[in-house]
Amino acid sequence: MSSLLKITDLHVSVDEKPILKGVSLEIRQGEIHALMGPNGSGKSTLAYTLVGHPKYEVTSGTIEIDGVPLNDLDPCERARLGMFLAFQYPVTIPGVKVADFLRHAVTNIRNPARKEGESLIPMRDFRKELKDRMEELGMDVEFARRYLNEGFSGGEKKRMEILQLAMLQPKFAILDETDSGLDSDAVRVVSEGLRKLAGPQMGVLIITHHERLLEYNVPQFTHVILAGRIVETGDASLAHELHNHGYAAVRQRHPAEAAEEQEHQKVTSKAAVVAN
Amino acid sequence: MLTVTPSRTTAFDVDVFEQFIASRREPEWVTDLRRNAFEIYRELLASELDPEEWKRVDIRAFRPEKFSIPTATKPAAAFDTLLADRAEFAGFITHIDTVSSPAKLDEELAKKGVLFGSLSELVQSHGDVLKPHLMTRAVTPDADRFAAWHAAFWTGGTVLYVPRNVQIEKPLYSLLGLATDGAADFTHTLIILEEGASATLLEETASASSTATGLHVGAVELLLAARSNLCYVQIQNWNDKVWHFAHQAGRVEASASLQWTAGAIGAKLAHIHQEVFLDGKGAAAEVNGVTFASEKQLISYYTQQTHNAPNTRSDLLYKDVVRDHARCVWRGMIKVAKDAQKTDGYQRNDSLLLSETCRVDAIPGLEIEADDVRCTHGATCGQVDEEQLFYCMCRGLRRMEAMHLIVEGFFQRVYDRIPVEIVRETLGQAVERKLGIS
């Protein structure tokens, strides 16, 4: 039976300001969903909320995997249940080797009951597996010995996220603008990488402005988010239309959300002025 | 019912000193050194400690009279050491409650004239070799109260003498142990490398129990003749009932190279005065520090890199992790003499604070009299980054596990500078133990 990630009427605030205002979404393992929307509409907020970033406060609504509520679980527990976020801006962890980091991560994800100090997966098996995945993604195996994201280029960081996705094989993967800030070669590499990985065992939510990632990974569903609500859902052709024509038509079809969006932007820019 | 034990009087007064001298039966030159040092000690006791060095280190709770130099030889205690069982050593010696075990030394090295043994024995058998070096150039009794106290009462310690052009490939090992409650250890480490010699000495301190109180008033002297190479490591791993005071200095002659790694894990309160002197043209010193203080520990370093000759290089990197109510103090200074042109001096201290209640004071400093030098210093201080923790947790690591990984990563940059694998591993292991994950 395939797993289901179910988001119901999700309301989320950041610093007591409402950002998501009732998002509902169902993603099954094996499905690819695209989430598109203008800047500030709440795409990244949804991504961070799903994996449990403490800054994002769920004021109402639920997130469940196969009926198990995630709302009160910390990011580690969610990861062990199969959630994964490929970060838009992955952090650097100085002095921690990619291989060591991933060996801890893989052990925990495959053995969700593991406590710290309990044994890690055998080094030999792990090394081989890591080497195989790196070669499949066209990565230099030397990267395994480097410190996590330290001195990595933008493209290398994104590729490292995809490598982690490959090693952890989550049930649900959220890709937060994994294709942003990359040259077209790098976009191709991560797009192909994702295509190899996404299969019947993975539900994927792709947050993107670009079309390239979606060309390689054609979504069955495209959702448009505006001012914290999903206002339209369609198929791949909707993503295509948004890419070619922008959000003007969407705003016209949803004048109430468009007005909210404008209001929100005014408040934000005023706040920025005050802050300056 | 209360039982009353007779309280000790001041343990380090004239009477005690005279008894101590009488018990040692040492050559006259040694006794003279001690008497001279004891006079200086008495004078310095009456004066204030250098406020620049001590103002952040509160030793008001320190009661010297609670400690005494053990007189009876106790059966050997078991020590849970980090290094002792780890590797093949070219030489091996232990000093438990100031009593030295017979040193073991590779026969080939002994034939080449290498001396490795306890200071107490070697002042008797090889006084001519030691006399020019013992507390004459690196650590002198007039340096401060603790140096003088040590010079008057030193109890033994490890001596390594390597003759000209003799290279020792394998590391040598020295253990300083405290076993008896209230024991005072005044061990002295003296390393003399003649021209072109090279050696590695790994030294660690350990307590036999977690409850025995103790005192260490130590000194380390590292004397490197021209073109010699020394790697010296001291891992201070007493229990948290031990007071640790040490005066440690290295003197590096022309084109010689010193790599010095200090690990500070244990002690109730530790204050180390550590100096490197670059005395000859082209001399180099690299100083590494790994400090991890927890509970109510205070670990303090006063470091000096003194450039006395041109084209010399010094590079100090200290990393401290502080947790609970612990405190770390680092006061660093680079001094460049007028003639030491083309000096390249560097010092850096990075601190990671794991609690709201811990504290770090890091104060770098420069005193430069030459005009063509490159000297840089820096200090950073921060808490574990919440975004790093979040990222790790998103990959299935629990918060504590993530914290531990980040701490180990923080120290990694010091480990990266240490060429001896066993030292990197041992420091890593000591940190893991303290984190409670091994």
Which candidate from A80, A102, A116 shows the least CB-CB separation from B401? A116
The pLDDT tens digits of the residues spanning B148-198 come to: 999 999 999 999 999 999 999 999 999 999 999 999 999 999 999 999 999
The CATH number of the domain holding residue A255 is 3.40.50.300
Say how many domains are in chain A: 1
In 3D, which of B18, B16, B43, B143 has the Cα closest to residue B135?
B143
Cα distance between residue B186 and residue B183, in whole Å:
10
CB-based contacts of A92, cutoff 8 Å, min separation 6: A147, A148, A149, A150, A152
pLDDT for residue B73: 64
CB-based contacts of A192, cutoff 8 Å, min separation 6: A216
Determine, yes or no, domain membership for B232. Answer: yes
Q: Are B301 and B333 in contact (CB under 8 A)?
A: no
Q: Among A2-11, A191-200, B66-75, B340-349, which stretch is predicted with the lowest mean pLDDT?
A: B66-75
A108 part of contact set with chain B, CB < 8 Å: yes
Of B245, B279, B313, the one marking the end of a domain is B279
User: Which DSSP string do the residues of A204-242 spell out, in sequence order?
Assistant: EEEE-S-SHHHHHS--SEEEEEETTEEEEEE-HHHHHHH
Cα distance between residue B397 and residue A173, in whole Å:
17
pLDDT for residue B76: 63
- Tell me the mean pLDDT in the region B214-226: 98
Determine, yes or no, domain membership for B300. Answer: no
pLDDT for residue B8: 40
In 3D, which of B296, B232, B248, B240 has the Cα closest to residue B265?
B240
Collect all residues of chain B within an 8 Å Cβ-Cβ radius of residue A74: 393, 399
pLDDT for residue B234: 96
Q: Are A58 and A71 in contact (CB under 8 A)?
A: yes
User: CB–CB of B396 and A109 under 8 A?
Assistant: yes
Cα distance between residue A116 and residue A108, in whole Å:
9
Q: Give the domain extent around B427.
A: 386-438
Q: Are B423 and B75 in contact (CB under 8 A)?
A: no
How long a stretch of residues is chain B? 438
The pLDDT tens digits of the residues spanning B248-265 come to: 999 999 999 999 999 999
Q: Are B272 and B316 in contact (CB under 8 A)?
A: no
In 3D, which of A41, A24, A30 has the Cα closest to residue A202?
A30
B18 and B167 in a common domain: yes
Q: Among A178-187, B92-101, B154-163, B266-275, which stretch is predicted with the lowest mean pLDDT?
A: A178-187
How far, CA to CA in Å, does B137 sit from each of A159, A212, B217? 57, 71, 19
Collect all residues of chain A within an 8 Å Cβ-Cβ radius of residue B397: 76, 104-105, 108
B37 and B167 in a common domain: yes
Query: Which residues are bridge partners to B176 per DSSP?
Result: B95, B205
Q: Considering only alpha carbons, which residue of chain A is nearest residue B405?
A: A96
Residue B359, pLDDT > 90, answer yes
- Residue at B419: amino acid letter: P
Q: Considering only alpha carbons, which residue of chain A is nearest residue B388?
A: A91
pLDDT for residue B7: 39
Question: How far apart are the CA of B249 and the nearest CA of chain A, in angstroms?
Answer: 30
Specify the higher pLDDT residue, A138 or A150: A150
pLDDT for residue A211: 79
pLDDT for residue A173: 97
A121 part of contact set with chain B, CB < 8 Å: no
pLDDT for residue B177: 95
Q: Give this prediction's pTM.
A: 0.90
- Residue at B201: amino acid letter: L
Tokens of B16: 């005690």
Q: Is B135 exposed, middle or buried (0-12, 13-18, 19+ CB in 10 A)?
A: buried
End-to-end Cα, chain A, rounded Å: 54
Say how many domains are in chain B: 2
Q: Are A57 and A14 in contact (CB under 8 A)?
A: yes
Q: Are A33 and A223 in contact (CB under 8 A)?
A: yes
Residue B401, pLDDT > 70, answer yes
User: CB–CB of A94 and B409 under 8 A?
Assistant: yes
Q: Among A68-82, A208-222, B162-176, B302-316, which stretch is predicted with the lowest mean pLDDT?
A: A208-222
Of B260, B279, B298, the one marking the end of a domain is B279
pLDDT for residue B212: 95
Of B279, B296, B312, the one marking the end of a domain is B279
A75 part of contact set with chain B, CB < 8 Å: yes
In 3D, which of B249, B386, B238, B265 has the Cα closest to residue B320?
B265
pLDDT for residue B80: 78
Q: Are A253 and A226 in contact (CB under 8 A)?
A: no
What integer best gives the mean pLDDT of chain B? 94
Collect all residues of chain A within an 8 Å Cβ-Cβ radius of residue B350: none
Q: Give the domain extent around A30.
A: 4-275
User: Which DSSP string do the residues of A180-191 spell out, in sequence order?
Assistant: TT--HHHHHHHH
Question: How far apart are the CA of A40 and the nearest CA of chain B, in angstroms?
Answer: 21
The pLDDT tens digits of the residues spanning B42-91 come to: 999 989 999 999 999 999 999 999 999 988 666 566 787 888 777 789 99
